[in-house]
Structures are given as C-alpha cells and as structure tokens.
Amino acid sequence: MRKQHEWYDEHDAERWVAEPVKRPGRTAFARDRARVLHSAALRRLAAKTQVATAGSDDFVRNRLTHSLEVAQIGRELAATLGCDPDIVDAACLSHDLGHPPFGHNGERALDQVAADIGGFEGNAQTLRLLTRLESKTFAADDRSVGLNLSRATLDAATKYPWSRREGERKFGVYDDDLAVFTWLRAGVGERRCIEAQVMDFADDVAYSVHDVEDGIVAHHIDLAAVHADRAPYWATVRQMYLPEATDAELDDGWARLRSLNYWPAARFDDSRRSLAGLKDLTSQLIGRFAAAAEQATHAVFGRSALIRYEADLIVPDRTRTEIGLLKGIGMHHVLNSPERQARRATQRELLTELVESLWKLAPNYLDAPFQADFAEAADDAARLRVIVDQVASLTDPSALAWHTQLVKA
C-alpha cells in the first residue's frame, strides 16, 4: 500500500530555490513541517494575542497554543482523507504567522497606515514571512527566500489565493511577493487545494470551541444565559459569520448542540468536575465537526487519497451553522465588552504611533535584518513596507516596550 506522501509528485515537492536532499529517507513535507516548527516566527506567537491579550491570563489561548491545536485537528483530519499530514500540519502551524501584535485589531491598524502601499493583511504577511522574511535559505543572487518550503506546503498555507481587490479586506499576497505567488499557484486560478481547505476548517473548528471554552472559564460566557436570551447572540452570529441564517436555522442548530449528551447541564463553577466536563465538551465537539466533514467529503469523492486539486472538503450546512453559532457566542462578548473596546482603541493608536516614530528614526532602532531591507529599498513605499514588516514581527509585550522607548520617551 502506498504511503500518503507518495501520492504527491515532484512538482508538489519542488522548492522555489532547489536544495540538496540531506536525509534521503525524509520527505520534503516532513522537512517543511520541521522548518515551521523551529522558526522564530512560530515562537513569537506565544506572546501574540488570540482573543484575550497575550499573558493576561494563565488559562486562555495565545496565537501559539491556538496554532498547535489547529495543527492537531488538521493533521488528524488530513490523515482520514488521504492528504499528507505533514503538509496540513505545516500549513496549520503557519496560518497565523503573519499576525501582528494585538491580533486582528493590530491588523486593522497596520492596514490603515499601509493603505497607500497595498495595505496589510495577516495572510499576505504569512506568505511574505515564509518566502522572504524568516531566515533559512538564500538564492544564488543573495536574495532571501525565507523557509523555502515546497510548493504543496506553501499552497496549503494560502488561505486567500488572490491579490487585494476593491471592496474586499481579505487577500493572500502583496504586489511585492507576486513572483513567488505566481510560481506556487501556476495554472490553478483562485481555487484552493484541499489541504488549504482542511487547514481553514481546522482553524474554524478550533476557534469556535476554544473561544467558548476560554470564555466560560473566565466567566464571560454563561450557556444558560445564551439560551434564555438568544436574540443578541444570533445578531452577532449573523453580523460576523452567517449573514443569511434565519432564526429558525439558528434555533435548530442550538437545539442540536444542547441535546448532545455531553452538553453542560450545570453552570460552570471552577471545580475539577466542571473543568473536566468542559474539556470533554470541546474534544467531543471537535470530533463531531471533523467527523461530519470527513463523512460528507468521502460521500462525494470516494475513499481514495484526496489530495491537492482532486477534491474539495465538504462541510455540511448543519455543521457550518453549529460552528458559526459557537463562534458568534464567543465573539459577542468581545464586541460588547467596554473594557476590551477601550483597550483595542489604545492598541491601534499605539501601533500607528510606533510606525510613525520608526518612519522618522529609521534605519535606527530597526532590527538588523530590517535595517538591511531598509537600506536596499528603492523608494519610500518600499521603505514604509519594511517598517510595517518590523512592527508586524513584534510581540504584544515588545510592541509596548518599543512604544515606551520611542514614542513616550
């Protein structure tokens, strides 16, 4: 019986810059996963905001723990579908590498300051980091090619395979990085490979169950209160995730969730029994959602190995509704917390001021790699992109420290 990696060909395993094979028994995709796992960018995620500010609580997730959990979900689902698990694992570990300090809030701040140079988007920044900014491999012309991952792994990490478009906030590549994007996406248009679809789904699953778990433990979410007054929660679900969903569809999805025999019967009280029940809830929900997608996908595409552009991940509408409900319940408290809203405004102002200060002071104070990029930049637009790259690379604590040193001093 063929191993999963053997369903992929030399085109899938090709790297932008050819490298000698140092360990013949190791697959290109296992090397990719190891490169991401050992990267500085992945380590920095430990101090970057997921939903709650990184370091504000010993229990809640940060970007690193979230990425590790996404990778575990994605790897297991990939194995059941026939995708190479290392490709999906590496893509899942990579999917948030481009996020700046303060999560999506920081992303919006940098998008505003970079509006005249193509904007900022975490997924486009991920591609830039994997193919340029993270130090690993250089081309013959002394140009950094980042981690130099295989085509299949880079493709699997590409969540939005298009450039910025009018009226759309999400995109996957800056104009500066179109050369490598064109190389890895040649001939496939805007369709996503199944490995990228698995990565995206694993992210949604992890996000939906873990944000609710974190919210319950922090006593921000009471599932009984959600049931008693669903209207404001359903409004958030529609606003953020399921704009076309009717009350009847959301009520039906909620009824399905509440009927599960592992759904909490009592209010969370911080006891070991409550913590165990909550952990069982999250693991059972992950299994429920992954099994639904696996079964639906095999029902359409059969039981052969499903790789690259030979199949699509099929997620039943009922499953998407249940995931959307959980995501909306978690997000409702973020959107309606005055404390978080005030903090978010402060964070956006901080990053904006930091970019402005560095623009005046650069190349001084930039890290050495970014100083070199600044010196090589051809014009002011390219120089501003370097400063945005530098700020995006910072963790939450380092952004605060840099702001204190450069702006408040």
Which residue ranges make up each domain of the chain? 4-185, 194-336, 340-406
State residue 55's pLDDT score: 47
Please give the Cα distance from 122 to 100 (Å, whole number): 7
Q: What's the burial of 378, exposed, middle or buried (CB within 10 Å: 0-12/13-18/19+)? A: exposed
Query: Average pLDDT of the chain?
Result: 92
Q: Which amino acid is at 174?
A: Y
Please give the Cα distance from 397 to 400 (Å, whole number): 5
Q: Which amino acid is at 209?
A: V
- pLDDT tens for residues 243-263? 999 999 999 999 999 999 999
**Virtual torsion, Cα 234, 239, 245, 247, nearest 10 deg:** 30
Give CB contacts under 8 A, 24+ apart, made by 68-74. Answer: 68/93, 69/206, 69/210, 70/95, 70/199, 70/202, 70/203, 70/206, 71/202, 73/202, 73/205, 73/206, 73/286, 73/290, 74/198, 74/199, 74/201, 74/202
Q: Residues 319-328: what's their mean pLDDT?
A: 97
State residue 79's pLDDT score: 95
Categorize the per-residue pLDDT at 1 as very low, low, confident or very high, splitting at 50, 70 and 90: very low
- pLDDT tens for residues 78-113? 999 999 999 999 999 999 999 999 988 899 999 999
State residue 3's pLDDT score: 62
What residues have CB less than 8 Å from 117, skipping those under 6 apart? 381, 384, 385, 388
Q: Residues 36-59: what's their mean pLDDT?
A: 75
State residue 296's pLDDT score: 98
Give the up-direction half-sphere exposure of residue 7: CA atoms within 13 A in the CB hemisphere: 18
State residue 23's pLDDT score: 76
Topology (CATH) of 4-185: Hypothetical protein af1432 (1.10.3210)
State residue 167's pLDDT score: 82
- pLDDT tens for residues 151-206? 999 999 999 999 999 888 899 999 999 999 999 999 899 999 999 999 999 999 99
State residue 24's pLDDT score: 76
What residues have CB less than 8 Å from 223, skipping those under 6 apart? 216, 263, 264
Categorize the per-residue pLDDT at 61 as very low, low, confident or very high, splitting at 50, 70 and 90: confident
Categorize the per-residue pLDDT at 333 as very low, low, confident or very high, splitting at 50, 70 and 90: confident
Categorize the per-residue pLDDT at 335 as very low, low, confident or very high, splitting at 50, 70 and 90: low
Categorize the per-residue pLDDT at 340 as very low, low, confident or very high, splitting at 50, 70 and 90: confident
Q: Residues 51-63: what's their mean pLDDT?
A: 58
Q: Which residue has the higher pLDDT, 303 or 281?
A: 281
Categorize the per-residue pLDDT at 304 as very low, low, confident or very high, splitting at 50, 70 and 90: confident
87, 31 contact by CB (below 8 A): no
State residue 287's pLDDT score: 97
Q: Which amino acid is at 125?
A: Q
Q: Both tokens of residue 195? A: 């490995």
Q: Both tokens of residue 110? A: 């940098």
State residue 20's pLDDT score: 86
396, 55 contact by CB (below 8 A): yes
Q: Both tokens of residue 358? A: 């560095």
Please give the Cα distance from 297 to 316 (Å, whole number): 9
Give the pTM.
0.93
